[in-house]
A and B are shown apart, each in its own frame.
Chain A
Amino acid sequence: MTDHTEMLKQERNTPWRVELRNSVPGKDRIAIERVKMNEVEPLERIKSQTCEVNCGLTPEQALHEARRCMDCVNPTCIEGCPVSINIPKFVKQIEAGKFLDAAATLKEFSALPAVCGRVCPQEKQCELKCFYSEKMNKEPVAIGYLERFAADYERLSGKIQIPKVEERNGIKVAAIGSGPSSLSFAGDMIKLGYEVTVFEALHEIGGVLKYGIPEFRLPNSVVDVELENLKEMGVNFEKNFVVGRTASFDDLKELGYKAFFIGSGAGLPNFMNIPGENLNGVMSSNEYLTRVNLMYANQSDSDTPIMLGKRVAVVGGGNTAMDAVRTSKRLGAERSLIVYRRSREEMPARLEEVKHAEEEGIEFMNLANPVEYMPNAEGRVAKARFQRMKLGEPDASGRRKPVAIEGDIFDIDVDLVIVAIGVSPNPLIPACLPGLKISRWGTIEVNEETMQSSIPEIFAGGDIVRGGATVILAMGDGRKAAASMHRYLQEKQKK
């Protein structure tokens, strides 16, 4: 038995957990219905880009939901979590009414619990592995809702606990990019006593949490509190700084930086290279969302312009496509359409986002793929031509491959097309490091166990390694990189 499972077992056998477990019979727990998230009505929420859709659980609802958890001998839910949060522990702390303790448990494992409670695809992770999903064919414990509840409770209580940090050891390390992987890395390294600086190219800290995910899903104020906590712990943030350009890696080494974590993300939007794609009114989801989320282009006091559409088609089936299409609705589109080349079942977006989009009147055009865009007299996109698809044999990803239905082509009137078909790694930083091993997809090659690159003092994680994944996987990488960079630097000190 590993130390980790032994530790989980010991925790499970602490008297308060045993007592709590025995206080309600298992069959009574199983009989409880899963809680429903409180939401703002669709017609109300689409009036504002900043109105958060989910309102969170009340303490009563949280207590009720936490009671459903069986506190299993073998907590499979933890296996589903990329950062291995001790899920039963925090859920049982909620059931015991110790909400601040629950928040503290979360923070032992995750630098951004309020964020993860909102944006993680729980249905594919912890909740998929829940006893209820695996063994009972029932709805899983709402672990994501409970995570959000504990983190929000702590934030709103005004009793935010700043995790303890070791005494400063004087060793300088840098994180490049300020998205989830870097923040998680920075949080762990500052706890270990390092002098941590996070370098960000944009004028705002937070990476995709700020420029990408809209406020109706993740309010900036929630992200800002997490950033404040890191600052309190001693993390230093440098905005408007492109490592490799503003200063080279060698310059930073001269300034005393001993090791680097690259978490610069997969910033480069993919296009399909079809005719008309460079027309005005066709843009990447990154551009559209950055204009709105980072530049506030939808607000009258912003100097950044935005193209509004009445008939908007968003190409793609992921979370970013959902974010873009729902944003277009909030900015006044009459018709907002998702165009996805596979069927609903294969959509990579979180279930909740698809559900919310549907409630908000988003149309779903599945099994269709754009082949051409056509302009009006002013050169702006006016029509999109689509190819009808059907599902064929499964491809390398295991999903059934979309194939064109010969001759089945149709046109739709559009005045804005947003391409949300994924991103590629941003070459800006790798290009500054000759000798850094890059895959043929442009991602940085690392040892999967240590996140160390081909250059010993350089570690990497998140989308620059994965090519396009989730917030929580990026955070897991940041944690792993911090642990192994710590080992690397300690060994180097000894020599």
Chain B
Amino acid sequence: MNKIVEKYKLSESVFKFIVEAPMIAKSRKPGNFVILRIGDRGERIPLTIVDSDTEKGTITLIVQNVGVSSSKFCQLEAGELITDLVGPLGKATHIYKAGTILALGGGVGIAPLYPIVEAFKKAGNRVITVLAARNKELLILENEMRQWSDEVIVMTDDGSSGRKGLVTEGAEEVIKREKVDECVAIGPAIMMKFCAQLTKKYEVPTQVSLNTIMVDGTGMCGACRVTVNGETKFTCIDGPEFNAHQVDFDEMLQRLRAYKSEEDQARNKK
């Protein structure tokens, strides 16, 4: 059982939790995730660790209320307990001095992008960050990102914050303007697919962090399999980060819909 120390509302449907987990706080690296479960019939849900405080022994998690399980988590308040929490899981991001990094974050995908931006900046890179959301209200972590970015470009679908347009438009502008050594894109699968297409065109090496369906998160079940460079990989232990230009995004999008009818039923029931 892990205690929630603080809870913040970042937008109508996105919440930030500071959770007691001293050992994970100490051992986690950028790109790692945890699996957590709410209630004794709860589902195991993967969430990227956004930040940690080794002195206080806490980790930061950001979750969007999108389904039965995430809604149970979002209803918890500071002082309450998370039934099960395990981690850190997954391979850590390969952080090194590359030169200029282009970081692309979409929607709640901005949360897992945050520790990577921070780490690349600390490693001495120039970091340009493009944040995209449907509207101003749904845009998260803008100020935090500014702290670790040399430049932040905000794109919204309706122009309510920053400029009107898609993440790829902001990204293309940067790539045309200056030499980008590496790109990291995290967000909805469809966004990552289009980011990958764009950076492939300009031959910019690109990493994506995949948010596939998982059960155990330790390599045991294979629910998270993706095709990368024609080979089946397990996101939980081979990833979650992969070379964006080798990921079969169409298959991934299909697999994300695997339990759609079951999930719709569950939502209507509860």
Q: Which residues of A contact B (CB under 8 A)?
A: 201-203, 211, 239-242, 245-248, 251, 267-269, 271, 273, 277-281, 283-284, 286-287, 290-291, 295-296, 299, 301-307, 379-380, 426-428
Known: A201-B218, A296-B41, A307-B262. A287 touches B223 (CB 8 A): yes
> Are A290 and B88 in contact (CB-based, < 8 A)?
no
Complex contact A246–B222 (CB within 8 A): no
A-side contacts of B266, CB under 8 Å? 303, 305
Q: B237, A428: Cβ atoms under 8 Å?
A: yes
A271 touches B39 (CB 8 A): no
* Beta-carbon nearest neighbor of B91 in chain A: A431
Give residues in B with beta carbon < 8 Å to A. Answer: 23-24, 27, 37, 39, 41-44, 68-69, 72, 83-89, 215-216, 218-223, 225-227, 232, 234, 237, 251, 254-255, 257-259, 262-263, 266
B196 to chain A, nearest CB (A): 18
What are 18 pairs between A and B in contact, CB < 8 Å? A201-B86, A203-B44, A203-B86, A211-B220, A242-B89, A242-B218, A279-B254, A281-B258, A286-B221, A290-B216, A295-B44, A303-B39, A303-B69, A303-B266, A304-B44, A305-B263, A306-B262, A428-B218
Q: Are B237 and A246 in contact (CB under 8 A)?
A: no
The distance in angstroms between the C-alpha atoms of A284 and B236, with both chains bound, is 15
User: Would you call B219 and A427 a contact (CB within 8 A)?
Assistant: yes
A280 touches B254 (CB 8 A): yes
Pairwise interchain contact A277-B232, C-beta atoms closer than 8 A: yes
Measured in the bound complex, the distance between the Cα atoms of B213 and A304 in whole Å is 11
Complex alpha-carbon distance, A305 and B226, angstroms: 20
Query: How far, in angstroms, from A299 to B269 measured CA to CA in the complex?
Result: 14
Bound together, the chains give a CA A273 to CA B233 distance in angstroms of: 11
User: Which of B215, B234, B237, B257 is packed against the most chain A CB atoms within 10 Å?
Assistant: B215
Query: Apart from A280-B255, A379-B254, what 16 extra A-B contacts exist at CB < 8 Å?
Result: A202-B86, A202-B218, A242-B86, A245-B88, A246-B23, A247-B27, A278-B232, A284-B221, A286-B221, A287-B221, A290-B215, A303-B69, A305-B263, A305-B266, A307-B259, A428-B237
How far does the alpha carbon of A240 sit from the alpha carbon of B83 in the complex, in Å? 10
When A246-B27, A247-B27 are in contact, do A427 and B222 touch as well, CB less than 8 Å?
A: no
List the B residue with the shortest CB-CB distance to A280. Answer: B258
Residue on A with the closest CB to B24? A246
CA–CA, A135 to B237, complex, Å? 51
Question: Which of A246, A280, A287, A307 lies in contact with B88, CB distance below 8 A?
Answer: A246
Shortest CB-to-CB span from B127 to chain A, Å, is: 28
| Cβ B88 vs Cβ A267 within 8 A | no
Determine the residue in chain B with the shortest Cβ distance to A271: B232
Partner of A426, one of B37, B89, B218, B254: B218
